[in-house]
Each structure stands twice: as C-alpha cells, then as structure tokens.
C-alpha cells in the first residue's frame, strides 16, 4: 500500500510517501522557522497561510523524488490533531480534497502517535512492549505501549512541556526561536557545575513532571549574574548547560521509575526534544544499568515531519481504518482514545 502522508499541525509542512512493502520512498519538509522567528514563537494565522502555499509543491516534490504518479497512491494520511486548528485544517482539507478527486481513502492521524512510531522507520526498530517518553513542544508524557493504539498514560507534565521549557528559557536569555537547539548548542561550551538547577518533582514518588519553575530559576539566575551586562556570553552558556542538565536528569529519573514500575527494558524517545544529544546520552547511560536499550529516530524524524504520519497512517489503513468525507480536526485529543489495532 502506497500512502501519502501530510503533516501541518504546527510550523512545519511535512509530506512523505511510505510504501508498506518498500518502506519510505520520499519525504520533503518546509520549516517555517524563519517566518516565525521575528515574533519569538509560532503565529498561528501565519502558519496556516504558509501551509496553504507549501502543500502542493511539496506533494509534487515527493512524487518526483519517488518517481511515482498520483495514480499510484492508495491512500492519504494527514495529521488530524492535536495542534493548531487552522494549521491542521489545511492538511485535512487538502487530504480530503485529493482523496475525493483520486477516489481513495483518507485517514486522520494522531500527531503524537506519529512521533511515537517514528523510530519504526529506522533500521533497528523497537519491539512492543516498551515505555515511550514523548517530549515535544506541546507534550511531555510517559506512556506504556503494548502495540499500535494500545497506550497507557503513566505520567505527564502538569504545566510546561519539556520543549516549551527549552523555548521559553531560550527566549528569556535572548536566544532565537526555537530554543531547544539553541540551548543545546550553547550548552556545549558551558562550564559544568557553575550553576545547579533543581530537578523538579523527583524527590516525591510518581511519574508527573513540572517544568515551568525551571524557566523562572533560569531568569532569576540570569538577572542576578548579569548585573546589567546582557553580553555576558559565558554566563549565558553556563545557564544553558545547567538548565539542560536539569531537564535531562529529571527526564532520566522519571524514565528509570517508569521502567521499574512496568518491568520493561526498552525505552523509546520521540518528539522534538528527543533530538537532544545530552538527553540521548543520559538515557543510554541509565539504560546500561538495566541491560535495556533506548530507541530514537534520526534527528530529522524527531521533529515534525510527514514520514511519521505516512507510516502511522499506513499501519491503520492496512487494518481497514479510514475516515468519512467530513473535514474534522482536534486541537486536543488524548492518545488513549485511539482504537487499538
Ligand atoms: O515535535 P516537535 O517538532 O513539535 C511539536 O510537536 O511540538 O518539537 C518541537 C520542540 C521545540 O520546543 C524545540 O525547541 C524542541 O522540540 N527541540 C529541542 C531540540 N530540537 C528541537 N529541544 C532540545 N534539544 C534539541 N536538540
Ligand atoms: Zn510534533
């Protein structure tokens, strides 16, 4: 089955062609980062308008890269939520219009299920069951995964998502959007142990997270140290390192707890923050103690992309699922509501 995948939940237009027999044939992405950078974050209206402009050229691009014609496509998978409603509607209406014109089925895919299954596109995919740490700009969740659609939420953030904490902290430090990669870059030249940030909610039991206090801690540290000198580059780097280390340690402590609780040995990390090298290293070290393994996607497939939507959609379409002709998207959509395969 050849599936066209469309992702438009936020600030990336992602398009891909995935074939159930041959694997990923092509994927193309347009990132709107430059468009939103001047505003320090995503402007929903601008995002929707840009998806409209990019979608058809990207579809043509993947068809040409895969040397396929539109007639060969068997089904269309698109992100139906969670995300920005206007942005989601662009992908949904485009998918439904093309599905109608080509007389093929369309299926709305859950964005976080896409992220969760992205490591399946790699050469050594994880086997079910596993624990998944989903860390993106909008979500921080620990999930027990027994199969596609068989998700049990173990814990999540009570306030900011991990990626959101990176982005907000970066903004306060005067860094550009998106903050995650910027903080990671500056942290490489940070001096260890100059600042020590708290590891929120790690001293009490449970698998919940809270990251909103870290940005305040970063702001207070920055204001105290800076003393009116915004050009103190080394202090900025040292704060980035201390902040990143606090996030990595906190996530690692909670992942260890989730593995102990479930008795599982394999951990999947997915979503934009799973591209973070320090997080990967921290988790790999911890998994070493467990004799377990950590799985993640290549960096391009950690952040938003069309390939993960094409892959996740393909699994569900193969099982016979598809939507009716109505165009419907959901800003909020708990993953546990998904049907098991
Ligand atoms: O999954 P994603 O592309 O979009 C959402 O579904 O939210 O994640 C974007 C988030 C942003 O908050 C961004 O700052 C963060 O992922 N991110 C990173 C890194 N790359 C992206 N955070 C930390 N380190 C990185 N290398
Ligand atoms: Zn995402």
Please give the backbone phi and psi of residue 118, each rounded to the nearest 5 degrees, phi first.
-55, -35
Query: Pairing state of beta strands 140-147 and 293-295?
Result: unpaired
Q: How far is CA 272 from CA 33, 91, 104, in A?
A: 14, 20, 32
Phi-psi region of 140 (alpha: psi -120 to 50; beta: other; left: phi over 0): beta
**Dist. CA 195 → ligand 2 center (Å):** 31
First CA to last CA distance, the chain: 17
Over residues 121-147, the pLDDT tens digits come to 999 999 999 999 999 999 999 999 999
Q: What is the mean pLDDT of residues 95-103?
A: 98
Please give the backbone phi and psi of residue 87, each rounded to the nearest 5 degrees, phi first.
-70, -45
For residue 226, pLDDT over 80 is answered with no
Q: How confident is the model at residue 167, as a pLDDT?
A: 97
136 lines ligand 1 (CB under 6 A): yes
- How far apart, in whole angstroms, are the C-alpha atoms of residue 266 and residue 295? 8
Relative to the alpha carbon of 301, which ligand is closest? Answer: 1
Residue nearest to atom 16 of ligand 1 (CA): 272
Using DSSP's 3-state secondary structure scheme, residue 235 falls into helix
| Cβ 20 vs Cβ 300: under 8 Å | no
Q: Which atom of ligand 1 is nearest to the CA of 111?
A: 6
Residue of 5, 86, 92, 13 lying closest to 48 (CA atoms): 86
297 lines ligand 1 (CB under 6 A): no
Residue nearest to atom 21 of ligand 1 (CA): 272
Q: How confident is the model at residue 232, as a pLDDT?
A: 87
| Cβ 251 vs Cβ 279: under 8 Å | yes
Relative to the alpha carbon of 308, which ligand is closest? Answer: 2
For residue 254, pLDDT over 90 is answered with yes
Q: What is the mean pLDDT of residues 281-296?
A: 95
Rounded percentage of the chain residues whose pLDDT exceeds 90? 97
Q: How confident is the model at residue 230, as a pLDDT?
A: 64
- How far apart, in whole angstroms, are the C-alpha atoms of residue 174 and residue 207? 32
Give the residue, out of 137, 161, 244, with the most ligand 1 atoms within 8 A of its beta carbon, to mutate for a pocket test. 137
Vertex 316 angle, CA 315 and 319, to 5°: 95
Residue nearest to atom 13 of ligand 1 (CA): 180
Relative to the alpha carbon of 167, which ligand is closest? Answer: 1
DSSP string, 122-146: SSSPPPSSEEEEEESSS-EEEEEEE
For residue 252, pLDDT over 80 is answered with yes
29 lines ligand 1 (CB under 6 A): no
For residue 227, pLDDT over 80 is answered with no
For residue 228, pLDDT over 60 is answered with no
**Dist. CA 51 → ligand 1 center (Å):** 19
303 lines ligand 1 (CB under 6 A): yes
Contacts for 313 with CB less than 8 Å, ≥ 6 apart: 3, 5, 75, 76, 77, 78, 107, 109
Over residues 155-173, the pLDDT tens digits come to 999 999 999 999 999 999 9
Query: Pairing state of beta strands 2-7 and 293-295?
Result: unpaired
Q: How confident is the model at residue 79, as a pLDDT?
A: 99
275 lines ligand 1 (CB under 6 A): yes
Q: What is the mean pLDDT of residues 298-315?
A: 98
Q: What is the mean pLDDT of residues 202-219?
A: 96
Across the chain, mean pLDDT equals 97
272 lines ligand 1 (CB under 6 A): yes
Over residues 36-83, the pLDDT tens digits come to 999 999 999 999 999 999 999 999 999 999 999 999 999 999 999 999
Over residues 212-225, the pLDDT tens digits come to 999 999 999 999 98
249 versus 227: which is more confidently predicted?
A: 249
Q: Which atom of ligand 1 is nearest to the CA of 138?
A: 7
Q: How confident is the model at residue 231, as a pLDDT?
A: 72
**Dist. CA 55 → ligand 1 center (Å):** 22
218 lines ligand 1 (CB under 6 A): no
For the chain, what's the residue count?
341
178 lines ligand 1 (CB under 6 A): yes
14 lines ligand 1 (CB under 6 A): no
Burial of 123 (0-12, 13-18, 19+ CB in 10 A): exposed
DSSP string, 6-28: EE-SSSEEEEEEEETTTEEEEEE
């Amino acid at each position: 089955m050849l599936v066209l995948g469309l992702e438009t939940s936020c600030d990336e237009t992602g398009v891909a062609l995935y074939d159930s027999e041959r694997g990923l044939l092509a994927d193309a992405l347009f990132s709107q980062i430059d468009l939103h950078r001047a505003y320090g974050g995503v402007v929903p209206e601008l995002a929707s308008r840009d998806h409209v402009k990019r979608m058809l050229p990207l579809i043509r691009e993947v068809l040409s890269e895969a040397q396929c014609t539109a007639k060969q496509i068997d089904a269309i998978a698109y992100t139906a939520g969670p995300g920005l409603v206007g942005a989601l509607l662009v992908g949904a209406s485009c998918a439904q219009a093309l599905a109608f014109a080509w007389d093929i089925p369309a299926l709305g895919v859950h964005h976080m299920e896409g992220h969760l299954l992205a490591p399946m596109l790699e050469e050594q995919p994880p086997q079910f069951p596993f624990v998944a740490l989903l860390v993106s700009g909008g979500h921080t969740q620990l999930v027990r995964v027994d199969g596609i659609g068989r998700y049990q939420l173990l814990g999540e953030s009570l306030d900011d998502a991990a990626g959101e904490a990176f982005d907000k902290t970066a903004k306060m430090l005067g860094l550009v959007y998106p903050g995650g990669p910027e903080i990671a870059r500056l942290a490489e030249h940070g001096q260890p142990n100059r600042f020590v940030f708290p590891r929120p909610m790690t001293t009490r039991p449970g698998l919940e997270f809270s990251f909103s206090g870290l940005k305040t801690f970063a702001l207070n540290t920055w204001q105290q140290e800076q003393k009116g000198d915004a050009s103190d580059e080394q202090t900025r780097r040292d704060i980035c390192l201390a902040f990143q280390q606090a996030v990595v340690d906190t996530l690692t402590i909670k992942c260890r707890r989730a593995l102990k609780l479930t008795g599982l040995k394999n951990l999947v990390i997915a979503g934009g923050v799973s591209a973070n090298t320090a997080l990967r290293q921290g988790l790999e070290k911890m998994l070493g103690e467990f004799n377990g393994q950590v799985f993640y996607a290549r960096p391009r497939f950690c952040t938003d992309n069309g390939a993960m939507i094409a892959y996740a959609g393909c699994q569900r379409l193969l099982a016979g699922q598809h939507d009716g002709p109505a165009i419907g998207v959901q800003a909020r959509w708990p993953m546990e509501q998904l049907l098991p395969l």
